[in-house]
A and B are shown apart, each in its own frame.
Chain A
Amino acid sequence: MIQETDSETQTAGTQTADTQSAHIQTAHIQAAVTKTAETHTERAEPPELAIASSGLTKRFRGGQLAVDHVDLRVPRGSVYGFLGPNGSGKTTTIRMLLGLAFPTSGKAELLGVPMPEGAIGVLPRVGSLVEGPAFYPYLSGWDNLARYDSADRTAPARTARSRIGEALERVGLTAAARKRYRHYSLGMKQRLAIAAALLRPRDLIILDEPTNGLDPQGTREVRGLVRQIAADGITVFVSSHLLAEVEQVCSHVGVMRTGKLVFQGELGELRRTAAPRIAVRTPDVAAAAEVFAELGLADPVQVPEQELITAELGAELPEKVTAELVHAGVGVRGLTVESPSLEDLFVGLTGEGFDVEH
């Protein structure tokens, strides 16, 4: 390398004009290389995302904007909660992601493959439950799964029996495998739909309202299944209007409001958007207020009749506040740190009650 550089310098000394043009060329090439590298990183980026969309928009024939420039970024390996009240465009978005509906504008990618063009290639790696379970009522649970499995041209027929058996076992429906779907309870129907999503090894599972209409027990079962699926390293994209479900299983959330994605990020990030408050129960409210002021806690609220004082915790650690209070001789009867519930944040993002903004 050094020798080459030397010789280059030598030639540069003798033939100035040529070297200049060579320099320009080199600069061009370098620019080109940098550009390629950039494009390369841009290309290499999407596979890190299980779902990526840019400007995804759906306008219905009536003119209603159901999905409005949604930019989803679902990292691989995450459990992504797709939140929003009913009618906020969640299901329409999912339908576009799966190639069931065609976007008016914008792009969507599943596992780095553009949709809906790449549907045939990528969808065998994606399990889905869209808008509730749908099966043939006159077929048994087993036959229903066999039906969907036969539609997958990449699924080997030879392993169909074992795969259907395992999928049913995983959702606890082995005993009801030969029962007609018509006679299934709502919870069983939901579980059969999840079994259908697990018929093959998947990289991504999309579950649209998987606990809709289930009793608390059924909800818990589904939540357990989601945890199991995620534990296998499969990315899970789960939509819901039930916050409790998301709070307990998700690592990331996206919040929809009237067709727009109003928040997207880690669950912790959403929590951080609202400041946690420290609440102290003490007979010496005034003394506690002084300590709070010394610590610089913002927005103190005194409620002497309830022997309570609260303030924003900020960057302060609760144990330090406790120590300071005790040090100042304030009688502490109770101390709690309260984060605003996800529900409060959710309502803040999506608006109260029924949405009539369409």
Chain B
Amino acid sequence: MSSTELSAAKVSTAKVSTTGLAMPEETQTRPGAVSPRLVRGNLRLLANELRVTFFRRRNQLLLLVVALFPLLIGIGLKVAQPNPDGGGGGGNAPGGAVSAAGYFNQLAGNGVFLTFVALSLLLILVLPVAVAVIAGESVSGEAGAGTLRYLLAVPAGRTRLLAVKFAMIVAWAVAATFLVSIVALVTGVALFGAGPVTLLSGTTVSLAAGLVRVLWVTLYVCAALIGLGAIGLAISTLTEHAIGAIAALAILVVASEVVDNIPQFGAVAPYLPTHWWLSFDAFLRSPMDTTTMWHGLLSFAVYTVLFGCLAWARFTSADVTS
């Protein structure tokens, strides 16, 4: 690395006279400054990637649409106020998918529950699609537009570019999930009020403790979507048609959810990518159902690592022909 630095410095000194560009920091290469500069160089690409992603009009619209859902769900539920006689919530088997109905009953008394309603409803399709658009497009979009060959000729470095793309997907998934949670929380509190939170297991905790549970649930959903993002990244390295990768990922989510709901496929169900997504009700019990939680997190971690490796193996060995 230091030889690279040195040669770069030499080049710039040689060329200063011809191009008239003064680059003091390149001419004085201090050995101790190498590593922070490389870190800064990597952060710079990540910062640019995030800026390009989050400032893109289309992506902002996508986030806006995602944010509208919890608002509409809140208003819809307020208008069609359900009868508060449903009784002691949930009753879902650990690990099984929670129907949003379990939360509806709690909602009447507490707006905090709108976050769980919104997350469980949006996790079926809206949030996965929002992640699919960004993850599916991450590499294939660059390849399709031809910008991938220019990034690699800069050189961005294949592994480094892939790492930045994954970091961007993580940031996007976290942003989308927290956006849903925050909008739902604000809407819920505004429409239904706030107070001590009655959990699915019947225990009542303080509002502050309830908000901490909201945070845990949101982070759990983030982890689920990051696993999906890693699959999307891997698919994205296989094609130069962004729309194909996005569609493939969306279809994968729906197919996984369908298979998960067919009892005959019960044997494979725990290994499906979407199986543990809605298990965040584990956080809404007292004591918390940590077994389910860890199963879920393990599933997301395995998917992330596995497909991250597949993406890396493919991206570092494939010819860029677009």
Contacts and interface: CB of A to CB of B under 8 A. Distances in A.
A148 B26 contact: no
The 4 closest A-B pairs by CB, nearest first: A134-B146, A201-B15, A153-B41, A150-B48
Interface string A89-107: 0000001001111100000
Contacts of A136: 52, 145, 147
What is the interface residue range for chain B against chain A?
A: 35 or more
B91 to A, nearest CB: 49
Interface stretch (A29-37, A123-131, A334-342, A348-356): A123-131
Given A120-B155, A130-B150, A150 B44 contact: yes
Interface stretch (A80-88, A154-162, A247-255, A272-280): A154-162
A314 B4 CA distance: 52
Contact of A154 (B22, B41, B47, B153): B41
B188 to A, nearest CB: 35
A263 interface: no
Contacts of B23: 156, 159
B201 interface: no
B21 A159 contact: yes
What is the interface residue range for chain A against chain B?
A: 35 or more
B252 interface: no
B161 interface: yes
27 contacts: A98-B152, A99-B155, A100-B319, A120-B155, A120-B157, A121-B3, A123-B155, A124-B8, A124-B11, A124-B155, A130-B150, A130-B153, A132-B146, A134-B147, A134-B149, A136-B52, A136-B145, A146-B48, A147-B48, A150-B44, A159-B25, A166-B20, A200-B12, A201-B11, A202-B15, A232-B18, A233-B18
A275 B62 CA distance: 67
Interface of B: 3-5, 7-8, 11-12, 14-16, 18-23, 25-26, 38, 40-42, 44-45, 47-48, 52, 56-58, 145-147, 149-157, 160-161, 317, 319-321
A12 interface: no
Given A100-B319, A150-B44, 5 more contacts: A100-B149, A136-B145, A138-B57, A153-B44, A232-B18
B155 A95 contact: no
A168 to B, nearest CB: 13
Interface centre among A134, A135, A137, A158 (most CB of B within 10 A): A134
